[in-house]
Amino acid sequence: MARPDRGEPDLAAVLHALGDPVRLELVRRMAENGESACSPEGVDVPRSTLSNHWRILREAGITRTRRAGKARLMSLRRTDLDTRFPGLLAAVLAEGRR
Query: Which burial class, exposed, middle or buried, applies to 59 when counting CB atoms under 10 A from its CB (0-12, 13-18, 19+)?
Result: middle
Residue 13 has pLDDT above 50, yes or no: yes
| Amino acid found at 53 | H
Indicate the helix (H) or strand (E) that contains 84.
helix 78-84
- SS3 category, 65: strand
| Domains recognised in the chain with CATH numbers | 11-96 (1.10.10.10)
How many Cβ atoms are within 10 Å of 15's Cβ, its own excluded? 13
| Per-residue pLDDT reduced to its tens digit, 77-90 | 999 999 999 999 99
| Per-residue pLDDT reduced to its tens digit, 31-76 | 999 999 888 888 889 988 999 999 999 999 999 999 989 888 999 9
